Amino acid sequence: LTASISNMSYGNADVTLGGMSTFNMQHGFVEALVRGYRSGFLKDTDYHHMTQCDALEDVKMNLQETDYDTFLNADSTVTPAIIEARALNKLVTEFFYFRANAVEPLGQFMDYITYEYMIDNVMLLLRGTLSGRNVNELMAQCHPLGMFKESTMRNIPTFEANPRGYADLYETVLVDTPVGPYFQTFLEQSSSSIGAASEVRHVLEEVQIEILKNSLMKLYLEDFYSFCEKLGGDTADVMCELLRARADRAAINITLNSFGTPLNDATMRETDRKRLYPSIGELYPAGTELLCKVDDDVKLGQAISSYPMYHAIFEKFLNSSPEEFSIDDEFYKREVRMYELAFEGQMHFGCIYAYVKLKEQEIRNLVWISECILQRRKDQITNYIPIFSSQAEWRAESTRRGVAH
Amino acid sequence: MSSEIDYSCTTYYCNAGWKELLSHLSPYSWANWGIAIGLGFSVVGAAWGIWLTGSSLVGAAIKAPRIRSKNLVSVIFCEATAIYGVILAIILLNKISEPKDKVYELSDEWDFATFYFAGYGVFWSGCSVGFTNIASGISVGIAGSSCALGDAQDDSLFVKILIVEIFASALGIFGIIVGIIQSNSAQFPDA
């Protein structure tokens, strides 16, 4: 992969982190900072108070007692969208505070965390033009952690959403951005199939965009994985495990989402869909081989039956209705558990990545609770996922089984 | 001293090998090296420990300011290892006395046995303290860093982790006790 050194790095990214006895010299401050901010997560009691609220104004008052403090003071009316935007702003402020104090290679590590959001923003802008939306409106919706220069962002929607357009987009706009190398690799890989594809198979623009998004994410995950492996030590152990879980989740989601779209046709499964599965993760290579041949839910369940974790999640998915069960929620629960465990053990970068992801989950929780209050769906309000809670399902499970952790 | 000794150079460095080199190093040199190593490595260990624990302390105190004063104890434990080095250095340098007559060649009545014993004693005593204090300093530093982070989340953890630090700083005490005993009977002759 050519995407190994970002254009924002200041020094040699191959510097090893040092073990227990030297990690704190460079990174002790930021790690301690992040661990201090860990105490700012909403607790069970805070969530409980919020679920008792009847109006969003009460939620705002309850949040004033927590670490969120006066984050909504500038808004006279409160809506879930505003709560989400302000909470995200809080996370972004904290993230850039950590980033400002970070030394290499932690700085580059934190930049890697933001590339995911840059990819999301690029896709948002490209998709937006397909539906003909205003570029200003789209820019207001961009994720603040992944912002480019304004001129770059305004240029993105002006390109066409087809392979020729993507090549132009890369050469003129994206080549200087950190996601440029991912685009470059994607273009190289798909150039071999451009000629054949548009003539033989009538690929919809929608499918093209899906392929682009998933390819970029795959390349990003693989790049991040190899960067963490190079860092070595505890960081490599923790981060590689987290990224493998994400890659597996991406593979399963790609397969699930492709049912009912042209990507699920027998001709496209083996070639295009197979190319989207990341080459890291437990499911690679044997699992992804099986996933290539799958075209409906039941066969998917059989394909992943030898991976107990995913099998359990998928069994639940097959046996319940979409109303009461969302496979995304189960994946989120699993990921929250892994991110909480990433805080165990000092002297590695995993806690910073886990902090960002857990804060995101907290924001999703806040939005869920606010939406339930607004729509008067009090029966579903407790379906948020608790973070650092002693009442979490997985903690209760392990004590029930009498396993000492 | 018979006349059969061959004074011409038989080896490249013009000496009879390690035996001659090590035995011909002046005991004054051994002793002063020992003091330097004892003091130097102790301070390196203490500084390393303070570097490790100080950065965590500063970072964690941003969100939990109450830990500031309590956790300075970790820094004090690190500092103690440097003090052990200074104490031992002062004890050791009091054993080095200048000879009364400053001559180039020592007389035959010079007490060579005590001379060499003192030199080696002071050197290795300094090494004992230096190497144990470097280990103790790093160990206290790592434990102190975890102590600060744990205390920031839950104050009941402070005293418990402090006990781990106390055991870590005991390593430095082992060093200075042995160092003092080692150098006890070492005293340079001055006549």
Contact A205, A161 (CB under 8 A): yes
pLDDT at A209: 80
For A279-290, what is each residue's pLDDT tens digit?
998 888 888 888
pLDDT at A15: 57
pLDDT at B19: 85
Q: Is the pLDDT of residue A20 over 60?
A: yes
Collect all residues of chain B within an 8 Å Cβ-Cβ radius of residue A36: 59-64, 152
In degrees and rounded to multiples of 5, residue A67 shows phi and psi of -65, -20
Q: Is the pLDDT of residue A246 over 80?
A: yes
Split at pLDDT 50, 70, 90, the class of A352 is very high
- Nearest to residue A127, comparing CAs of A159, A152, A150? A159
pLDDT at A401: 65
Look up residue A143 and give its two tokens: 């994720």
Per-residue pLDDT of chain B (191 residues; tens, 9 = 90+): 556 776 677 777 788 788 888 888 999 999 999 999 999 999 999 999 999 999 999 999 999 999 999 999 999 999 999 999 999 999 999 999 888 888 888 888 888 999 999 999 999 999 999 999 999 999 999 999 999 999 999 999 999 999 999 999 999 999 999 999 999 989 998 86
The alpha-carbon gap from A49 to the nearest alpha carbon of chain B, in Å, equals 22
pLDDT at A378: 85
Whether A38 sits inside 8 A of B153 (CB atoms) is yes
pLDDT at A153: 76
Whether A20 sits inside 8 A of B142 (CB atoms) is yes
Collect all residues of chain B within an 8 Å Cβ-Cβ radius of residue A21: 48, 52, 138, 141-142
pLDDT at B171: 92
Per the model's pLDDT, the better-predicted residue between A369 and A129 turns out to be: A369
pLDDT at A159: 73
**Best residue in B51, B53, B55 for a mutation probing chain A (most A CBs within 10 Å):** B55
Span A98-127, average pLDDT: 91
Split at pLDDT 50, 70, 90, the class of A97 is very high
pLDDT at A202: 36
Span A254-274, average pLDDT: 79
Whether B145 sits inside 8 A of A39 (CB atoms) is no
pLDDT at A199: 36
Span A156-179, average pLDDT: 75
For A45-93, what is each residue's pLDDT tens digit?
999 999 998 888 889 989 988 888 888 888 888 899 999 999 999 999 9
- Here the ipTM equals 0.85
Split at pLDDT 50, 70, 90, the class of A10 is very low
Collect all residues of chain A within an 8 Å Cβ-Cβ radius of residue B63: 33, 36-37, 39-40
Look up residue A28 and give its two tokens: 């002790």
Asked if B90 is an interface residue toward chain A (Cβ–Cβ < 8 A), one would say no
Q: Print the SS3 string covering chain A.
A: CCCCCCCCCCCCCCCCCCCCCCHHHHHHHHHHHHHHHHHHCCCHHHHHHHHCCCCHHHHHHHHHCCCCCCCCCCCCCCCHHHHHHHHHHHHHHHHHHHHHCCCCCHHHHHHHHHHHHHHHHHHHHHHHHHCCCCHHHHHHHCCHHHCCCHHHHHHHHHCCCCHHHHHHHHHHCHHHCCCHHHHHHHHHHHHHHHHHHHHHCCCCHHHHHHHHHHHHHHHHHHHHHHHHHHHCHHHHHHHHHHHHHHHHHHHHHHHHHHCCCHHHCHHHHHHHHHHHCCCCCCCCCHHHHHHHCCCCHHHHHHHCCCCHHHHHHHHHHHHCCCCCCCHHHHHHHHHHHHHHHHCCCCCCCHHHHHHHHHHHHHHHHHHHHHHHHHCCCHHHHHHCCCCCCCCCHHHHHHHHCCCCC
Per the model's pLDDT, the better-predicted residue between A302 and B143 turns out to be: B143
For A200-239, what is each residue's pLDDT tens digit?
333 446 667 888 889 999 999 999 999 999 998 899 999 9
- Which residue in chain B is spatially nearest to A345 when comparing CA positions? B146
Average pLDDT value for chain A: 83
Residue carrying the six token digits 């709560």: A83
Split at pLDDT 50, 70, 90, the class of A16 is low
Span A365-380, average pLDDT: 90
Asked if B66 is an interface residue toward chain A (Cβ–Cβ < 8 A), one would say no
In this complex, which of A25, A36, A40 lies closest to B60 when CB atoms are compared? A36
**Best residue in A35, A39, A343 for a mutation probing chain B (most B CBs within 10 Å):** A35
The Cα-based distances of B187 to A41, A61, A227, B106, B115 in angstroms read: 64, 76, 59, 17, 8
